Chain A
């Protein structure tokens, strides 16, 4: 939640107020490593997303100022590349691979069953902020298709039942206590 509070205490383009936060220091370090040059934009956005989980508008504004990249260009880059997300992720993330092998192996039926179970489609987060459902272009685990990633852990040879079992573990745990 500090993600929310941090930018509000800071006006655009002034790094001094953000250095309190260790995560901003790491982002600043990335920019410095590239000489604070405009060409560091993508590397910097990677750094922001790695440390904050997503890119919020204040972060984009800050990076634009620090690297002297036009605001609209920063927004364009952040939305052109699908690895970047402008929305905060849920507590848990489930990434379903939609590579060819996984598709042939039934990835779309896995997606359908998740949609039925928790009512969210790809790119969406449940209203309680618990679960985010994402799709990946290809995780490169085609030998183990269909593959799914639960909170960063890749699992191969998934079935709808196995995926739902994992998701229920999240939801049951959270409603249970």
Chain B
């Protein structure tokens, strides 16, 4: 049961040799995005055809995690040639197999040299699209669990935390709290029982980074959790994941079972006295459970209503015990930090925002999908270079970051670097990494109303400003978008936003007005058009009918 480093190396070697024994390897993306354009069928057809042609011994068909460019799904890559194919269908299967060893099929070719791929810097997603998420051996072949071994055998918990502090990494869940400080606080808390929780309750509409990482490389998160547990002194961990992500849930469960069987989870890991177990807990459709204290309440089987902090979970968390809560992406950064040292990560990014950030690019942009770029990348480059610009020759209008807690950034700020401080300065937030691009067909008042409707129905109802305030703001916005708004409504809107922001109990309420505040700041003219002229330039609001009726 106990595993030594030689065993890990042995598994890695066997797996490498096994894979390299195949002259051709076809990687089919089986993450949720491509699966929803039938990549599962493509994979089956490929396997069947390979079998029919008797190519099993020299051609491997492998399901892999997200290749990133979801817009062009289903995606496959052919190794070792490094050829990418996009929009593959079952009928293309024969042709693909025919072309192996020859020249790539031009019709399906997806340029791997395009900025979408070359401008990325992959740390968290380094294995995405490369390894089979349902095989632990594949992860180990990519130096998986090596960091955990190093930590358990040759580092003290203090030394691990030092590396995280040195990396300067800030939490990727949204608020950007320095991870090292959080770890230090939990490790210092005096208690026999402590917990580590992986927050995978990715609730921001328009964000799918955590889902992709869990679907594509679940072992990385498990390894990160185990290292965190060792560092802070926990013996028990939970992955709190949305029930709306059935595939991610399944893959995490599979990964935990594999890790337990191999002995990298369980008792006496790597022949040390370190025990660590992980359980999966399903979220049940409440955005507010992304808030730490609500998440804890939900794991305890209670209502996901936040409670006032302090005390913070670091001292008083799950079942009253000190608890470390980190986001999926934060934990996925841990193994490489240990392998390469904290200073290595600190060398990437900007002065105050270290490392990379995974963004889910969506909305009115050509290359929708998952990208990972160094902190400080210029926003314009993300939208126009990596994202490939706006489709149908339309005009860029705004980019929305941070989901319902974030803001809309207009054209004039496109040349700013993407880091925590710069985003805050223009009235948005980093958030968990959703990045929605909007063009001139999007009405900003309508967008603000969309987010406020979200916050209103996701408000837990505990504190008065959030429960009633968000409802009042939503009603005002609805009046404006349906053409019955009054000029005085804008002042009222601002008053309510200020009230909700400053007096709500938890982060949800305190940030709920952000989409309204930022659109009022940059697109006030659109509000005025709706109120004074009763028109919606973008044509998104059903204001015309009201006008005719008047």
Taking CB atoms, residues of chain B closer than 8 Å to A118 are none
* A99 touches B (CB below 8 Å): yes
In the complex the two chains form, what is the Cα distance from A82 to B285 in whole Å? 5
**Complex Cα distance A155/B211, Å?**
17
A80 near B245 (CB under 8 angstroms)? no
Per the bound structure, the CA–CA distance linking A43 and B300 in Å amounts to: 10
1/0 contact string of B72-91 vs chain A (CB within 8 Å): 01000000000000000000
Q: Which of B208, B244, B434 contacts A137 (CB 8 A)?
A: B244
Query: Known contacts A43-B282, A83-B243, A104-B363: does B301 contact A99 (CB below 8 Å)?
Result: no
- Residues of A113-171 whose CB lies within 8 A of B: 136-145, 147, 153-157
Contact in complex: A76, B37 (CB < 8 Å): no
Q: Is B224 an interface residue when CB atoms closer than 8 A count as contact?
A: no
CB-CB nearest in chain A for B434: A100
Q: Are A143 and B71 in contact (CB under 8 A)?
A: yes
Q: Is the CB of A42 within 8 A of B208?
A: no
Which residue of B is nearest A38, CB measured?
B301
Which residues in B have their C-beta under 8 angstroms from that of A84? Answer: 284-285
| Residues in A neighbouring B355, C-beta threshold 8 A | none
Q: Which of A81, A83, A104, A153 has the most CB of B within 10 A?
A: A104
Also in contact, A141 and B36, with CB within 8 A (given A46-B243, A46-B284, A83-B243): yes
Q: Which residues of A contact B438 (CB under 8 A)?
A: 104
CA distance A47 to B426 in the complex (A): 45
Q: Is A40's beta carbon under 8 Å from chain B?
A: yes
A52 an interface residue at 8 Å Cβ cutoff? no
User: How far is B33's CA from A145's CA once the two chains are assembled, in angstroms?
Assistant: 10
Of A41, A43, A77, A156, most B-chain CB atoms within 10 Å: A156
Contact present for A83 and B244 (CB under 8 Å): yes
How far is A147 from B32 in the complex, measured between Cα atoms in Å?
12
Contacts of B370 in A (CB 8 A): 143
Smallest CB separation, B37 vs chain A (Å): 6
Interface string of B201-222 (1 = CB under 8 A from A): 0111111100110000000000
Residues from chain B with a CB closer than 8 A to the CB of A61 are none
- Interface residue from A77, A101, A137 paired with B287 (Cβ < 8 Å): A137
Chain A residues, Cβ within 8 Å of B303: 76-77, 80
> Is A39 in contact with chain B by the CB < 8 A criterion?
yes
Residues of A within 8 A of B299 (CB): 39
Check B205 against A100 for contact (C-beta < 8 Å). Answer: yes
Q: Is B513 an interface residue (CB 8 A)?
A: no
Given A41-B301, A43-B301, CB of A101 within 8 Å of CB of B286:
no
Find chain A residues with CB under 8 A from B458 CB: 137
- Contacts known (A143-B362, A143-B369, A145-B362); A101 close to B436, Cβ less than 8 A: yes
Q: CB distance A42 to B32 under 8 Å?
A: no
For the complex, what is the distance from the CA of A131 to the CA of B175, rounded to whole Å? 41
User: Chain A interface secondary structure, helix, strand, loop or mixed?
Assistant: mixed
State which of B208, B244, B282 has its C-beta within 8 Å of the C-beta of A142.
B208
Interface contact A40-B301, CB-CB below 8 Å: yes
CA distance A102 to B435 in the complex (A): 13
> Is A27 interfacial (CB 8 A cutoff)?
no
Q: Which residues of chain A are near B302, meaning CB under 8 Å?
A: 39, 41, 77
Contact assessment for A142 and B281 in the assembled complex, using a CB-CB cutoff below 8 Å: no
A105 at the interface (CB under 8 A from B): yes
Give A142 to B363 CA distance when docked, in angstroms: 8
With A and B bound together, what is the CA distance between A137 and B460 in angstroms?
Answer: 15
Interface pair A142/B304, CB less than 8 Å apart = no
A144 to B360, CA, bound (A): 12
Nearest CB in chain B to that of A44: its residue: B301
Q: Knowing A138-B205, A141-B32, A156-B33, say if A100 contacts B284 (CB, 8 Å).
A: no
Chain A: CB-nearest residue to B36: A154
- In the complex, what distance in Å separates the CA atom of A136 from the CA atom of B214? 20
- Given A138-B204, A156-B37; A101-B368 close (CB under 8 Å): yes
Q: Which positions in B face A, CB cutoff 8 Å?
A: 32-33, 35-37, 70-71, 73, 202-208, 211-212, 243-245, 281-287, 298-304, 360-364, 368-370, 400, 403, 434, 436, 438, 442, 447, 450-451, 454, 458, 460
Interface residues of A (CB under 8 A from B): 37-43, 45-46, 69, 76-77, 80-84, 98-101, 103-105, 136-145, 147, 153-157
A-B contact pairs, 7 of them (CB 8 A): A39-B299, A39-B302, A42-B281, A101-B362, A140-B245, A156-B33, A156-B37
By Cβ-Cβ distance, the 4 closest A-B pairs, closest first, are A143-B70, A100-B206, A83-B285, A81-B284
Taking A80-B303, A104-B436, A140-B32 as given, write out 20 further A-B residue pairs in contact, using a Cβ cutoff of 8 Å, ordered by the A residue number: A42-B282, A42-B301, A77-B303, A83-B285, A100-B204, A100-B206, A101-B205, A104-B364, A104-B438, A104-B447, A138-B244, A139-B244, A142-B360, A142-B434, A143-B360, A143-B361, A144-B37, A145-B362, A154-B32, A157-B37
